[in-house]
Amino acid sequence: MALADARALVPHLPAFPHDPAGDGAMLMRAVEACERYTPMVAPDGEDALVLDLTGCFEGQGWTRETIARDALAHLARMGLGGRAAHGPTPDAALALARFGMDELADLPVAALALGAEADLALRRAGLRTIGALAARPRAPLAARFGRELPVRLARLLGEEDRRITPHRPAGAIRAERRFAEPLASVAPLLDVIEGLAQRLESVLARRGEGGRRFDVALFRTDGHVARLAVACGRPLRDPPAIRRLFSERLESLSDPLDPGFGYDMARMAVPLAERLENEQRDLACGEGGEAQPDLAPLLDRLAVRFGPDRIRRFHPRDEHLPEYAARPVPPESGPAAWPRPEPGEPPLRPLFLYDPPRPVGVVAEVPDGPPRRFVWRGKHHRVVRHEGPERIAYPWWKHPEGRGPTRDYYRVEDEMGQRFWLFRHGLYASESDHPQWYLHGLFA
Amino acid sequence: MTDSPILRLGSRALSAPVPKGRGVIGLDVPEVDRWLKGGLRRDGLHEFYAPSGSPPGPAMALALLAGMRNCGQGRSLMWLRARGGRRKDGPHAPGLAELGIDPAALLLLELADPADLLVAGVESLRHGGAGAVVLELRGRCRALDLTASRRLALAAERSGTMALIVRGDARPVPSAAHTRWQVSAAPSRALPANAPGHPVFDLQLLRQRGGAEGLHVQLEWNREQAVFRTPIYGDPPAVPAGRAEDRRARRAA
């Protein structure tokens, strides 16, 4: 029926534009809300969810009926109406739910979803229900109505199973807790998290592993799911340490948690676990003065709070250009040995590097000579000592097609004693007529 | 300036013996250590100001060198700084190695703003696992008030981690620091061919908690012996044996 016809019948009919993206997002919210029952949840089509409840009843006090009722109640709170059905295969359950029936045999042939033409052909042949089809030999059916029919029929009747692909891959290590009364405040959350971590600790210890990442999902009664994740630099299974990381995470949330009508379930999963051996404490610990606390927990906390890419360590890199001579690496990769400097030499590299180098105005006696004066940040510096040039060529052996200007580096000291690292970008006459000067670093 | 490296020292300070303390880091020059009653406190908060308008290199270097002295037995030195937009300015590890600061012991933390930096600084100091925590702040920093610096000082005192603040482009303000220095570069002793020599620092003690200020001294850093000493100006030193012949040959040419 067209909208105009419908409005002729019901003048005040509200109308909304079709929004497939919004519908899809709503369906995904429903998927997230149903993750409370099983991690195996997948959307089907535009209007259905499939939950694989295999093994989900044990120890949880659920039955098929209570899960169906609970799920519908949750969806109703999200403003969604629905029908629930269960079956031996996803296809059977979907067909029962879509047609609102209880028995597979009573389903119309349209449940096979073969298309309008095939439906009509089946009905003309006097085959109206799945029950009638199931009783017949399959080979003639396939010959007449196509090869798809026996496959779909087998899936519908539970003779052949189909796997669903869950929306979110389930971690093998997880623990969950349901609350009799929804948690309406954030305060007790850390205790809940520590409780979950304690349950995971034994699982992890049995596997000889520690978690490198911990995800917590908080299921709100109205279907919203809040997710928190922390990562750590080395495998961890100590509940108080996990609690501290999550307390940092909660504090650093830019958008604080809104418990709304309360959380009624929490789940902790370990998506990434690594080998963690039990370590024996060093008995001779007291010998060499007091032991220093391990830095790793602090680095984990700082990484959770300020972002994992903010902490760096330096590893040497065999590179010509000074800006690439040190490689920043994450702190958990451990220290690397640095080459020892040449004895007797003053520092030949600056301790602080400007990247990009800052352009400076330089006066030199001759265009390819050392600098005499330069202006930086509006201040004039007269060079009284200098050493150079140290010529650093563009790495043409790596980039044969592109050639950059050569740099001539000078270590200079002005009349105040301030020491700078300057370079002339481009060789005079052969590479550039007016080479630009840059300040690249500061010495002590 | 050149004939008297120790510019202002009271007669009182010169006569007394250098107090020995386990909780302090000496600066190797007896007169300076006497003035500081042994040296810089290992569990103290020390501020190093670069004079306004001059680059912060010497102040950074001095803070790092002092901090490294509290980083024995594999302890790390944490350097906290605020990231300046899209520029990737920062410590240059090869240059630190040439100054005698092992980059392997260094952990760099780049934070979004000074407020985060102070939070991370207090947290790192409280933990006590690092040997020293260097906070590099640029410009006038409102977040670092008396309360914030008191918090840093208390955290350092409790854990025994040395707290070092490097300030560039800033005027000295009241704080809870144990010592406050103004550090600038001083002319180095020239190497052959008038090349810049080993770093020389010009230090002014602006404040010392429970002690006298006003010490003004120039110190030269010797990487091989890892000591500070008063620079002796005069003829260029004899060329030592070793490699890098070509560099010296060029200097002599």
B138 domain-assigned: yes
Measured in residues, chain B has a length of 253
Q: Do residue B104 and residue A314 have CB atoms under 8 angstroms apart? A: yes
- Residue A279 vs residue A428, higher pLDDT: A428
Instruction: Name the percent of chain B in helix, strand, coil, to the closest 5.
Output: 30, 25, 45
Q: Do residue A353 and residue B124 have CB atoms under 8 angstroms apart? A: no
For A355, the closest of B89, B186, B221 (CB atoms) is: B89
For A301, the closest of B108, B123, B184 (CB atoms) is: B123
For B89, the closest of A297, A344, A353 (CB atoms) is: A353
Q: Which long-range contacts (CB under 8 A, 24 or more apart) does A430-433 make?
A: A431/A405, A431/A406, A432/A405
Q: Report helix, strand or coil for B144.
A: coil
For B55, the closest of A305, A336, A442 (CB atoms) is: A442
Q: Nearest CA of chain A to the CA of B195: how many Å?
A: 5
Q: What is the pLDDT of residue A289?
A: 44
A391 contact B CB<8A: no
Residue A187 has pLDDT above 80, yes or no: yes
Residue B187 has pLDDT above 80, yes or no: yes
Q: What is the pLDDT of residue A59?
A: 65
User: Residues of chain B with pLDDT > 90: what percent?
Assistant: 51
Whether residue A297 contacts residue A230, with contact meaning beta carbons closer than 8 Å, is answered with: no
State the ipTM, two decimals: 0.84
H or E element: which one contains A157? helix A148-157
Q: Do residue B60 and residue A351 have CB atoms under 8 angstroms apart? A: yes
A45 contact B CB<8A: no
Q: Label residue A281 by pLDDT band (50, 70, 90).
A: low
Whether residue B95 contacts residue B64, with contact meaning beta carbons closer than 8 Å, is answered with: no
Q: Do residue A302 and residue B109 have CB atoms under 8 angstroms apart? A: yes
Q: What is the pLDDT of residue B241?
A: 44
B22 contact A CB<8A: no
Q: Nearest CA of chain A to the CA of B57: how many Å?
A: 5
B147 domain-assigned: yes
B68 domain-assigned: yes
Q: How far apart are CA A78 and CA A42, in angstroms?
A: 18
Residue A198 has pLDDT above 60, yes or no: yes
Q: What is the pLDDT of residue A280?
A: 57
Whether residue B61 contacts residue B199, with contact meaning beta carbons closer than 8 Å, is answered with: yes
Q: Nearest CA of chain A to the CA of B16: how many Å?
A: 31
pLDDT in tens, B147-172: 999 999 999 999 989 999 999 988 99
Q: Do residue A302 and residue B94 have CB atoms under 8 angstroms apart? A: no
> Which residue in the block uniquely carries the two structure tokens 């060529």?
A393
Q: Report helix, strand or coil for A322.
A: helix
Q: Label residue B237 by pLDDT band (50, 70, 90).
A: very low
Q: Label residue A275 by pLDDT band (50, 70, 90).
A: confident
Q: Report helix, strand or coil for B70.
A: coil
B31 domain-assigned: yes
Whether residue B91 contacts residue B101, with contact meaning beta carbons closer than 8 Å, is answered with: no
Q: How many domains does chain B have?
A: 1
CATH number of the domain enclosing B84:
3.40.50.300
Q: What is the pLDDT of residue B251?
A: 63
Ordered by where they begin, the domains of chain A are: 26-157 (no CATH), 174-275 (3.30.1490.100), 352-442 (no CATH)
For A418, the closest of B55, B88, B198 (CB atoms) is: B55
B99 contact A CB<8A: yes
Q: Label residue B11 by pLDDT band (50, 70, 90).
A: very low
Q: What is the pLDDT of residue A293?
A: 73
B193 contact A CB<8A: yes
Residue A378: which residues within 8 A CB-CB, separation 6 or more? none
Q: How far apart are CA A439 and CA A380, in angstroms?
A: 13
Residue B21 has pLDDT above 80, yes or no: no
B212 contact A CB<8A: no
Q: Nearest CA of chain A to the CA of B174: how many Å?
A: 26
Range of the domain at B53: 6-252
Q: Nearest CA of chain B to the CA of A89: how many Å?
A: 53
Both tokens of residue A56? 């989900």
For residue B101, give the DSSP letter. -
B224 contact A CB<8A: yes
Q: Do residue B104 and residue A338 have CB atoms under 8 angstroms apart? A: yes
Q: Do residue B100 and residue A322 have CB atoms under 8 angstroms apart? A: no
Q: Do residue B108 and residue A349 have CB atoms under 8 angstroms apart? A: no
Q: Determine phi and psi for A61, rounding to 5 degrees.
A: 75, 20
CA-nearest residue of chain B to A415? B187
A282 contact B CB<8A: no
Q: Label residue A353 by pLDDT band (50, 70, 90).
A: very high
Tell me what the mean pLDDT of segment A150-169 comes to: 83
Tell me what the mean pLDDT of segment B87-94 comes to: 89
Residues 119-138 of A with CB under 8 A from B: none
Q: Do residue A344 and residue B75 have CB atoms under 8 angstroms apart? A: no
Whether residue B117 contacts residue B80, with contact meaning beta carbons closer than 8 Å, is answered with: yes
Residues 59-98 of A with CB under 8 A from B: none
Q: How many helices (H) and strands (E) does chain B have?
A: 7, 13
For B92, the closest of A418, A420, A441 (CB atoms) is: A441
Distances (CA, A) of A175 to A32, A110, A192, A270, B127: 17, 42, 11, 9, 31
For an interface test with B, the pick among A285, A382, A387 (most B C-beta atoms closer than 10 Å) comes out as A387
Q: Do residue B107 and residue A292 have CB atoms under 8 angstroms apart? A: no
B111 contact A CB<8A: yes
Distances (CA, A) of B147 to A1, B150, B152: 72, 5, 9
Contacts of A384 in chain B (CB under 8 A): 187, 194
B1 domain-assigned: no
Q: How far apart are CA A150 and CA A109, in angstroms?
A: 12
Strands (E) in A237-378, as ranges, are: 263-275, 311-316, 326-329, 352-364, 371-376
Q: How far apart are CA A51 and CA A94, in angstroms?
A: 10
For B106, the closest of A314, A355, A415 (CB atoms) is: A314
Tell me what the mean pLDDT of segment A144-160 comes to: 86
Angle, nearest 10°, between helix axes B146-159 and B114-127?
20
Whether residue A220 contacts residue A263, with contact meaning beta carbons closer than 8 Å, is answered with: yes
Whether residue A119 contacts residue A76, with contact meaning beta carbons closer than 8 Å, is answered with: no
Q: How far apart are CA A197 and CA A214, in angstroms?
A: 9
Distances (CA, A) of B101 to B72, B76, B93, B104: 12, 11, 9, 9
Q: Do residue B244 and residue A342 have CB atoms under 8 angstroms apart? A: yes
Among A47-51, A322-326, A394-398, B104-108, the minimum mean pLDDT is found in A394-398
> For residue A431, how many other CB atoms are within 10 A of its CB?
14
